[in-house]
Structure 1
Amino acid sequence: MTAPLPRHELGFLTVGGPTVVIDVAGLRLVSDPTFDAPTDYGALRKTRGPAVTTAALADTDVVLVSHADHADNLDVAGRAFALAAPRLLTNPGSARLLGGPAEGLAPWEAVRVSDAATITAVPARHGPADGETDAAGYVNCEVTGFVIQAPGTTIYVSGDNTSLALVAQVKERFGKIDHAVLHAGRATVPAKFAGRPLSLSAERASAAAQLLAAGHVVVAHQTGWEHFVDGPGATHKAFHDAGIADCLDSTPEGEWSVVG
């Protein structure tokens, strides 16, 4: 039987796709869990499995789901993992899709998840600013990001957000952002918005990092799926070209980046 991974006071581990494990303030959080083996879902195709198994994360306290509408952010195994977690936070529409224990948070709504930590849902836009909206008024679908606040630490998790204006709102609302988990990859689906990006490109991830002035940036959502255009190489180049490569976390998937 696989034992849970050792915990850290503050650590980040990328699993592949959008999935990141965050240990902070005695808690273990997993964002946008995707644990399927390589799979063709029709519109999307997963090309690589996770670097860490669900069994190794069985002690997870909180799962964060930016949206439940797309397999590249919540696949079949990831959905089962999320629904089995002690606490599952997402946006209101995704909470209705998931049912069960899912808690839907509106933008800027905050909940305490322990005596030491608070999580706030923050706005996100899953496509171009002028993109056609769905029946509920969302570009592509309803998506949320999250800000995790614990003593001495503020962490921003972007979700599938393309909007630098919304990143600026997060910065204005929370001030100092110590760590940022950005979904990049320049996700592109030809049938949507004429193939324009559905997530941050490498260059826009670099711009978001500069807006946030975060000293430590983890870029996820750039490997393991066929529709991710900008991989780690493009990300590193964009951060290097902007002169901020020192804030980019290049720890390989499946290995801990322990901070402090």
Structure 2
Amino acid sequence: MILTHIGGPTVLVELDGWRLLTDPTFDPPGERYSFGWGTSSVKLTGPSVAPDEVGAVDVVLLTHDRHADNLDRLGRSILASAGTVVTTASGARRLGGGSVRGLAAGASTVLPGGDVRPDLSVTATPARHGPPLSRPIAGDVIGFALRLGDAPAVALWITGDTVLYGPLRSTATSLPVDVALVHVGGVRFGLTGPIRYTMTGRDAVTLIGLTRPRVAVPVHYEGWSHFADGPSGLDAALAAAPDDVRARVRRLDPGVPTSVDD
């Protein structure tokens, strides 16, 4: 598996002949985006790879479509050229089109690989983008568990933007995961005070300890003003983490294709 971290939650995944793109965000930095209900954030860092440098994309894995830090204007331009887009059921209704597949947590779809690669099974995993009862405000979010062919193990788990809560803990302890992309950042907005909308570094350490993937790659914790925990929070959490957790974590250099098979 080769991962290229483009920025934020956006990662190009090359997996047994499949080219997958997570949460496409390619807008330049500097703009303030509304996140609804009076909240907003400024994009501070641009993508490490331009949209026209990504190449052909077989599947876009879109954890949710309502927030610009997961799908922005230039990111939307990639959806039309991708072979398949997998996202939430509500997001599929908004995006429309025959190539868009919507999933609720626990549901799966199988993408046929043909003669040159294995079939790809995509299962939606639970995610909650904030505290209890926040769904009407933050909207639906899912993660993705990917399996190749009839393999029982999960080749790649993408948590999506989520807090650490019961269903996520249960998923973490039940999935045999090889590689995990863990969305972190500890999102907070001044308008809603101490309420967090994604995992902090400490939450990520807890989740990695529960899942015990061979490799855990933290993403989506830098490049926006609403990441209250951010890189410093992740650094501090990893410094205090058990050796077993730290040994599993792999930080990616932006824009550099990196094999995680060794």
Aligned to 1:165: 166
Q: Residues 107, 133 of structure 1: CA spacing in aligned structure 2 closer, same or farther, 3 A cutoff?
A: closer
The answer as to 2:54 corresponding to 1:57 is yes
Asked whether 1:41 is paired with 2:40, we answer no
Corresponding residue of 1:86: 83
Establish whether residue 118 from structure 1 lines up as the match of residue 117 from structure 2: no
- 1:148 counterpart residue number: 146
Q: 1:172 to 1:207 in 2, by over 3 A?
A: closer
Question: Quick check: which one's strand share is greater?
Answer: 2
Distance 2:201 2:79 in 1: 28
Report the alpha carbon displacement of residue 173 of structure 1 after superposing the two structures with TM.
Answer: 4.2
2:203 is the counterpart of 1:204: yes
Distance 1:153 1:215, change over 3 A: same
1:25 alignment partner in structure 2 = 16
Displaced runs of 4 or more, over 3 A: none
Of 209-218 and 163-172, more deviation after overlay is shown by 163-172
Instruction: Tell me the distance in 2 between the aligned counterparts of 1:182 and 1:257.
Output: 16
Question: For structure 1, which segment, 112-121 or 60-69, has the greater mean C-alpha deviation from structure 2 after superposition?
Answer: 112-121
How big is the shift at 1:80? 1.6
- Provide structure 1 residue ranges, at least 5 long, that are not aligned to the other structure: 1-9
Instruction: Determine the C-alpha separation between the residues in 1 that align with 2:14 and 2:233.
Output: 27
Pairing partner for 2:65 from 64, 68, 85: 68
Q: TM-score, normalised by structure 1?
A: 0.88
Partner of 2:184: 184
Q: Is the 8 A contact 1:83 1:102 kept in 2?
A: no
Q: How many residues align?
A: 244
TM-score of the aligned structures, taking structure 2 as reference length? 0.87
Report SS of the residue matched to 1:188.
coil
CA deviation vs aligned residue, 1:216-255 (integer Å, no higher than 9, x gap): 1111111111111223342133123112222111221111
Contact 1:19–1:33 (Cα < 8 Å) also in 2: yes
What's the Cα RMSD here?
1.7
Post-superposition offset of 1:82: 2.1
Aligned partner letter, 1:210: G
The one-letter code sitting in structure 1 at the alignment partner of 2:250 is D
Partner of 1:6: none
Unaligned runs of 5+ in 2: 35-39
Select between 207-216 and 232-241 the one with higher mean Cα deviation.
232-241
Letter in 2 for 1:35: F
